[in-house]
Structure 1
Amino acid sequence: MASLSPGWVRYAERVLGRPVTPHLCTARSPQQVMGSLVKDYFARQQNVPPEKIFHIVVAPCHDKKLEALREGFFTALHGARGTDCVLTSGEVAQMMEQSDLSVKDAAVDTLFGDVKEAVVRRHDGVGSDGHLAHVFRHAAKELFGEHVEEITYRALRNKDFHEVTLEKNGEVLLRFAAAYGFRNIQNMVLKLKKGKCPYHFVEVLACPRGCLNGRGQAQTEDGHADKALLRQMEGIYSDIPVQRPESSAHVQELYQEWLEGTDSPKVQQVLHTTYQTPEPCTDSLDMKW
């Protein structure tokens, strides 16, 4: 089960425990990986001590703030927190309005000096998803020698629950699902506990319609999600050209120069994590669903 959604991970650890946590993907979330990139790779590039870098992340989700505080997500190499501050996109928009700032006033830079704004690329998916598509293609190729180009999502119970299958000669080889929102998550967990979950991989996101619909996004005056803005963001995102990570020269460069190969101990140390089921906590950071 995917582990990129901090709300889902916290719910799994704090409430569900076993038998769910052993099924969580060990890959760190994008925010955690970026923290390692900034505090280790970028710091060495710039010859700056990691503790001298203040790393700010802009996210559509309030739960990313809690994720940044997790003790286990300090950068393993230097003992420094990978993300020092998380601002939601709604908070940034509010600050810009109050200060009369425009996005056009800010220059766009990158970890790689030869990448320009005009060649920004995205992963597969309509917004916050994409893990399912990447894992599905990789599994199809590595396990069955099948090269998958187009992926067809089939809606089942509702618009936030989809199924993807790989079939050959009438046999289902892979069965993946995308489950967004806690209604779908709870149904999936119930099947898992009963030993009746038919899926090899599930892309789980806590927010209905995914992270673009996160509670940290700009909202209407009455505190509801701005549906028109959501549709606009989905349209803008879908217009960005797709580049699969395995075809990126920069990804290959990072694996060789920074991570010392694709199967090195450093890969496990920097890109993967573990999950626990701690004792019930009553501090101010605890969440009740």
Structure 2
Amino acid sequence: MSDKFSPALRLADLNDFIAPSQDCIVSLKTVKSKHGKAESQEKARYISQPSQTEAVKISLKDCLACSGCITSAETIMLEKQSLDEFLAHIKSGDTVIVSISPQSRASLAAYIDISPSQVLRKLTTFFKSLGVKAVYDTSCSRDLSLIESCNEFISRYQQQCGENLPILSSACPGWICYAEKTLGSYILPYISSVKSPQQTIGAIIKHHIVQKLGLNRPDNVYHVTVMPCYDKKLEAARDEFSFSVDEGENGHANSVMKIPEVDSVLTSGEVLDLIQSKSVDFKALKEAPLDSMLSNVDDGGHLYGVSGGSGGFAETVFRHAAKKLFGVEIQGPLEFRNIRNSDFREVALEVDGKTVLKFAQCYGFRNLQNIVRKIKIGRCDYHFVEVMACPSGCLNGGGQIKPKNGQSAKDLIQLLETLYMQDVEVADPFDNPIVKRLYDEWLGQPGSEKARKYLHTEYHPLVKSTASQLQNW
């Protein structure tokens, strides 16, 4: 499984890759009980070798989500987010809801050779045949995250305080993990507080939709997302993305239950494994109507959403800021300019000969280091940076289905970029009727107290962990 985690983060050798059996970059010190101090230092490997020293365990708080190893603690957590666990909850009669990312449907479309919209409708048929209650499209929650991101940017820009900019996007858990554990407090204030689309749809379902479905409590729902990235499993397991419910009313005095917004994450590859394990002819499956309560589908059954295989954060916020702040309405595609390579691009808006907005897309840790260094020395002139850990962004996530025999990774990425918006109409998130309804019924308005409570979070440096002992950084 380690070959599907995000790229290794070793700064001494910043080559972006996704590969199995890499050395763990966390310094592990074993302790002999007789002397009570470290006697040796070893690196954990994905395939462990016999050793006379005591086993060292690393918790998820110590993990950097690199491609190095799967520890026993991680294995326990990942087992709780496995296909077996998913099927067990269906079998037990729980109300199971599945939310599917557009990157995952593109990955399955490329592998099965059908359109992404067909994938979504056939997955709806497939999951409901297993006993799933509802299947949603996370393009809807992404629109909500985008609106909150636009509001956040306008607020920070208007403060005219250089310490608040640039805003660094927060939808990538691999990047967030790296920032918290290695960059410390100097970079965290720049990171957007807006939750990722995965956690946003988790909040919508557990805090709002449960009532609309006639369920009294959020723990009555088992929510599963289908994502392009194994790091999303780590994101779903974060303490910040769970909430407490008092069980006293059910006869358990002083009993509090912790409920995650997202109970389990399955990758695109795991869903393919599930389909194959059931010996299903996926192409022959009937196409079910989409659940429109939280899916970007219009009355005619057509999908809609924003362009951009990694969520379209830079493009959407740029367009909104240009119109809101400077009265410039941008028509047609944005003209991003490659800076170092295709994974580091920028776009700027000039008004009266002066650059008033400058945004960037920064994918892969090699490119990210340039942004981080500029921020650290106060020389970053970007206002917003869309950050993704994986080269080529989310379409190249570690949980995506791998290239077929004879197909190069580059060819697959190009195919995914083409498929991603196939049969999808480009639409402004602010015009999304589902999002408007969520604000009217639940949140009030963008940036409101309720919106900040349910759709925003905070990130903190993790200093008391094994990560503080890293070598070669």
Q: Please indicate, yes or no, whether the TM-score normalized by the shorter chain is above 0.5.
A: yes
Is 1:120 aligned with 2:299? no
Residue aligning to 1:208? 391
Code of the aligned partner of 2:234: L
Question: What TM-score comes out, normalization by structure 1 length?
Answer: 0.90
Residue aligning to 1:23? 190
Q: Deviations over 1:87-117 (max 9, x none)?
A: 1101111221222222635734242598568
Structure of greater Rg:
2
Code of the aligned partner of 1:72: E
Conserved? CA contact 1:36–1:75, under 8 Å: no
Partner residue of 2:382 out of 177, 199, 202:
199
Is 1:244 aligned with 2:411? no
Residue aligning to 2:326? 144
In 1: Cα distance, 2:200 partner to 2:346 partner: 28
Is 1:62 aligned with 2:246? no
- What secondary structure sits across from 1:273 in the alignment? coil
Partner residue of 1:36 out of 174, 197, 203:
203
- What secondary structure sits across from 2:359 in the alignment? strand
Q: Deviations over 1:43-84 (max 9, x none)?
A: 010121210111000000010000000001115788521000
Structure 1, gaps ≥5 residues long:
none
Partner residue of 1:174 out of 351, 354, 357:
357
In 2: Cα distance, 1:145 partner to 1:27 partner: 25
Partner residue of 2:456 out of 272, 279, 284:
272
Code of the aligned partner of 2:316: H
Q: Deviations over 1:180-234 (max 9, x none)?
A: 0000001110111111111011000001111010011111479x97444333222
Is 1:13 aligned with 2:185? no
In 2: Cα distance, 1:281 partner to 1:43 partner: 37
Code of the aligned partner of 1:62: Y
In 2: Cα distance, 1:272 partner to 1:76 partner: 17
Question: What TM-score comes out, normalization by structure 2 length?
Answer: 0.56
Q: Percent identity?
A: 40
Code of the aligned partner of 1:60: P
Residue aligning to 1:47? 214
Conserved? CA contact 1:36–1:82, under 8 Å: yes
Q: Deviations over 1:97-148 (max 9, x none)?
A: 22222263573424259856832112132x1240011111121122222222
**CA, structure 1 residues 44+164, in 2 after alignment: closer, same or farther (shift >3 Å)?**
same
Structure 2, gaps ≥5 residues long:
1-167, 247-257
In 2: Cα distance, 1:268 partner to 1:99 partner: 42
In 1: Cα distance, 2:347 partner to 2:279 partner: 45
Partner residue of 2:266 out of 63, 87, 97:
87
- What secondary structure sits across from 2:346 in the alignment? strand
**CA, structure 1 residues 75+30, in 2 after alignment: closer, same or farther (shift >3 Å)?**
farther
Aligned-residue Cα RMSD (Å) equals 2.5
In 1: Cα distance, 2:453 partner to 2:317 partner: 21
Which has the larger displacement, 92-101 or 180-189? 92-101
In 2: Cα distance, 1:52 partner to 1:252 partner: 26
Which has the larger displacement, 22-31 or 86-95? 86-95
**CA, structure 1 residues 262+74, in 2 after alignment: closer, same or farther (shift >3 Å)?**
same
Which has the larger displacement, 57-66 or 256-265? 256-265
Is 1:135 aligned with 2:314? no
Partner residue of 2:348 out of 165, 183, 186:
165
Partner residue of 1:156 out of 318, 331, 339:
339
Q: CA deviation at 1:261?
A: 3.0
Is 1:261 aligned with 2:440? no
Which has the larger displacement, 111-120 or 133-142? 111-120
Conserved? CA contact 1:176–1:199, under 8 Å: yes
In 2: Cα distance, 1:117 partner to 1:280 partner: 54
Is 1:100 aligned with 2:279? yes
In 2: Cα distance, 1:17 partner to 1:282 partner: 14
- What secondary structure sits across from 1:100 in the alignment? coil
In 1: Cα distance, 2:245 partner to 2:322 partner: 34
Which has the larger displacement, 149-158 or 173-182? 149-158
Q: CA deviation at 1:263?
A: 4.1
